[in-house]
Amino acid sequence: MRDFSCPRCGQQLAFENSRCLHCGATLRFVLDTRDFVALVEDGPNPRTAEVGGVVLTSCANLFTARCNWATPAGTSLCPSCTLTRVRPADADTSGISAFADAEAAKRRLVLELVELGLPIVGRAEDPEGGLCFDLLSSEEEPVITGHDNGVVTLDLAESDDVHRTQLQLSMAEPYRTLLGHFRHETGHYYATLFLDGAAAQERAARPEFERLFGDPDADYQAALDRHYSQGAPVGWARSFVSSYATMHPAEDWAETFAHYLHIRDTLDTAAAFGMAPSGAAADRPLAGDVGFDKIIELWLPLSWSLNMVNRSMGHVDLYPFVLPDAVLEKMRLVHHLVTAEGA
Whole-number pLDDT of residue 343: 54
**pLDDT tens, position by position, 30-62:** 999 999 999 998 766 668 999 989 999 999 999
CA–CA separation, 21 and 338 (whole Å): 37
Which residues have C-beta within 8 Å of that of residue 283, sequence separation ≥ 6?
Answer: 115, 116, 117
Whole-number pLDDT of residue 279: 83
Q: Given pLDDT bands bounded at 50, 70 and 90, which one contains residue 330?
A: very high
Whole-number pLDDT of residue 278: 84
Q: Given pLDDT bands bounded at 50, 70 and 90, which one contains residue 203?
A: low
Whole-number pLDDT of residue 198: 56
Whole-number pLDDT of residue 196: 80
Q: Given pLDDT bands bounded at 50, 70 and 90, which one contains residue 85?
A: very high
Give the count of alpha carbons within 13 A of 240, CB side only.
Answer: 22
Q: Given pLDDT bands bounded at 50, 70 and 90, which one contains residue 205?
A: confident
The amino acid present at 155, given as its one-letter code, is D
Q: Given pLDDT bands bounded at 50, 70 and 90, which one contains residue 214?
A: very high
Whole-number pLDDT of residue 150: 96
CA–CA separation, 50 and 57 (whole Å): 9
CA gyration radius, the chain: 21
Residue by residue, DSSP assigns 281-326 as: STTS---HHHHHHHHHHHHHHHHHHHHHHHHHTTPPPSS-----HH
Q: What is the mean pLDDT of residues 95-121?
A: 95
Range of lowest pLDDT (5-9, 66-70, 191-195): 191-195
Closest CA to 214 of 230, 229, 233: 233
pTM value?
Answer: 0.94
Query: Between residues 140 and 15, which one has the greater pLDDT?
Result: 15
Mean pLDDT across the chain, nearest whole number?
A: 92
Of the chain, the percentage scoring pLDDT greater than 70 comes to 96
Of the chain, the percentage scoring pLDDT greater than 90 comes to 77
**pLDDT tens, position by position, 270-320:** 999 999 988 888 888 888 999 999 999 999 999 999 999 999 999 999 999
The alpha helices in 197-248, defined as continuous H runs, are 200-203, 206-212, 220-230
Whole-number pLDDT of residue 45: 63
**pLDDT tens, position by position, 124-173:** 999 999 999 999 988 878 899 999 999 999 999 888 888 788 877 777 77
Range of lowest pLDDT (84-88, 136-140, 214-218, 231-235): 136-140
Query: Between residues 174 and 10, which one has the greater pLDDT?
Result: 10
Range of lowest pLDDT (45-54, 74-83, 264-273): 45-54
Burial class (CB in 10 A: 0-12, 13-18, 19+), 327: buried
Sign of the C-alpha dihedral computed for residues 179, 1, 70 and 41 taken in this order: positive
Question: CB of 108 within 8 A of CB of 69?
Answer: no
